[in-house]
Amino acid sequence: MTHDGSKTPPALDPDTLRVIPLGGLGDVGRNMTCFELNGKILIVDCGVLFPEESQPGVDLILPGLDYLADRLDDVVALVLTHGHEDHIGGVPYLLRQRQDIPVYGSRLTLAFVEAKLREHRLRDAVLHTVAEGERVDVDEFGLEFFAVTHSIPDALAVVVRTSAGSVLHTGDFKMDQLPLDGRITDLRGFARAGAEGIDLVMADSTNAEVKGFTPLERDILPNLERVFAEATGKLVVACFASHVHRVQEILDLAARHGRKVCYVGRSMVRNMAVARDLGYLHVPGDILIELSQLNDYPDDRVVVVCTGSQGEPLAALSRIANRDHPVIGINPGDTVLFASSLIPGNENSVYRVVNGLTRLGARVVHRGNAFVHVSGHSASGELLYLYNIVQPGNVMPIHGEERHLVANAELAVATGVPRERAIVAHDGDVVDLRDGVAKPVGRVDASYIFVDGSTVGDVSESSLTDRRILGEEGFISIVAAVDLRKGEVVAGPDVSARGFLEAPTVFDDVTTKIAAALDAALAEGVDDEHRLQQVVRRTVGQWVSSTYRRRPMIVPVVIAV
């Protein structure tokens, strides 16, 4: 199932469909796939990945947009399956490069995208609203859209039909048979598409390791009800800013228990306003209050719905846990509910926030100690249903870490897909579909593109290594002046440090060593400032390593006078 795929892909033959995942295969985030046929490119999704602790200073991670840098004129459309950040967060960065790429998506998805584009001052985007059941022809590609249930309204799967074969891209989906909005995954449509012939299924892998079926969203309602009933103080609910169904449940419970609701977090306020305006969110009466009104009500009469369920350091919940929020504080007896899943890689950040809230006296309710969240992704039983219904010729799992992709491929094999046709690909792998057979043919670069403030792509892995060293080991600078003609040190060496044993007497020993090393080098005829700086770096590095077992960043400066 897996493959090397290290070679450069060959030129694309006519009437062969090339599939290139540029993100989302190996990570839970930055989902993006390119389909190329006869010189034209269709993109499905363009999301972001949120950074880990090992990527200090990084705000977002984009998919491999560099692959498209000299092919932008060949892009005929961008199709968005749903409105989560890991599927739409990268759209502004793509449209910055070419703003007139036609974008297709459902009503709610495009409303979320439009709000993002306004923030990025991209006002000339070409947005086309589509709905389940619609068919659209875009150049070489025929598109048909299908309703799927997910943890956000208006999610879509798409069948891409071409002269080289047909592909079902599920987007993120589950098979909740009693969804809150009554919009179920269109299994009849999938069956019809399968009967017409699906050559390749690209299916959501997130829960492929989970046995059975994802529980129903409505099954958690009694437990959410219990949290409200038992809460004696302020109730803070943390969830994704796009989880409209979950926020609807919270609004309904708040109304039943006589509590006002306050949204906190820019994305939460923006998205819920959009969802309400479009009719996807129904707000009971005058239940909503502004953040500025929060302290006008007793703690036991309010609910705060905020962002930060993944422990993001700048999100509202982290600031609350750190006593750094200007309005909201936590008192003993308050309750904090994590109404969301835990994205792999965020465990340390989340539990740091949980511990901070617990220390302040809050009762913290989360998926680990109560049944208060259900996933938006299909478990193994649902994926087996999908493969049996569609009966694809080939399968390429998407959206997941390595273990999820492998588990998904094994499910496909169990339903009769030949093992060599269940392809565990990775970001940048190139898979060609021709005559009903999908085959890996090489790789392209799909490296991480880091967004740091307003900077896109200028932060490298070596920069992050330097940041990690600075954050963990500290910084030592050494300045010395030398007279190269006389061959002597005339000033310094002066040593200063940050984040490393900053007591002034710490460097007395090494200052003498640096001066001796410089004198020795000058006596040997070294008259190059760079070489003298290397002498200083080596001397300090050896001293730090042997004395303190540390590896700080060392910046020597030798000035010739």
**CATH code of the domain in which 158 resides:** 3.60.15.10
Nearest-angstrom CA–CA distance, 393 and 433: 11
Q: Is 3 a catalytic residue?
A: no
What are the percentages of helix, strand and coil residues in the chain, rounded to 5? 35, 25, 40
243 has binding-site annotation:
yes
Is 496 a residue whose pLDDT tops 80?
no
Is 85 a residue whose pLDDT tops 70?
yes
172 has binding-site annotation:
yes
377 has binding-site annotation:
yes
Query: 């459309």: which residue's tokens?
Result: 77
Residue 92 lies in a domain: yes
Is 154 a residue whose pLDDT tops 60?
yes
**Same domain, yes or no: 44 and 125:** yes
**Residue in 377, 404, 429, 432 annotated catalytic:** 377
The residue among 433, 454, 475 that closes a domain is: 454
Q: Look up residue 215 and give its DSSP letter.
A: P
Residue 471 lies in a domain: yes
Burial classification of residue 324, based on how many CB atoms lie within 10 Å of its CB (0-12 exposed, 13-18 middle, 19 or more buried)? exposed
Q: How many CB atoms lie within 10 A of CB 250?
A: 22
Q: Is 377 a catalytic residue?
A: yes
**Residue in 176, 204, 252, 432 annotated catalytic:** 204
100 has binding-site annotation:
no
527 has binding-site annotation:
no
* First-residue to last-residue Cα distance in the chain: 65
426 has binding-site annotation:
no
3 state DSSP class of 489: strand
Sheet holding 475-483, edge to edge: 488-498, 475-483, 553-560
Cα-flanking dihedrals φ and ψ of residue 478, to 5°?
Answer: -130, 130
**Same domain, yes or no: 143 and 276:** no
Nearest-angstrom CA–CA distance, 393 and 226: 47
Residue 5 lies in a domain: no
Residue 12 lies in a domain: no
Rounded average pLDDT over 425-437 = 94
The residue among 347, 365, 383 that closes a domain is: 365
Residue 6 lies in a domain: no
458 has binding-site annotation:
no
57 has binding-site annotation:
yes
What's the pLDDT band for 182 if we cut at 50, 70, 90?
very high
The pLDDT tens digits of the residues spanning 230-254 come to 999 999 999 888 889 899 999 999 9
Is 382 a residue whose pLDDT tops 70?
yes
Residue 47 structural domain: 17-212+375-454
Q: pTM for this structure? A: 0.80
Any idea what the Cα angle at residue 128 is, between residues 244 and 241, rounded to 5°? Answer: 20
Instruction: For residue 470, give the CATH number of its domain.
Output: 3.10.20.580
Q: What percent of the chain has pLDDT over 70?
A: 90
Nearest-angstrom CA–CA distance, 525 and 506: 31
**Same domain, yes or no: 47 and 158:** yes
- Which range has highest mean pLDDT (231-240, 349-358, 418-427, 461-470)? 418-427
Residue 305 CB contacts under 8 Å (≥ 6 apart), including other chains: 237, 239, 247, 250, 261, 262, 263, 264, 268, 272
**Same domain, yes or no: 225 and 360:** yes
The pLDDT tens digits of the residues spanning 90-136 come to 999 999 999 999 999 999 999 999 999 998 899 889 999 999 999 99
Domain total of the chain: 3
**Same domain, yes or no: 348 and 383:** no
The residue among 342, 365, 388 that closes a domain is: 365
82 has binding-site annotation:
yes
Query: 């491999």: which residue's tokens?
Result: 64
What's the pLDDT band for 457 if we cut at 50, 70, 90?
very low
Is 412 a residue whose pLDDT tops 50?
yes
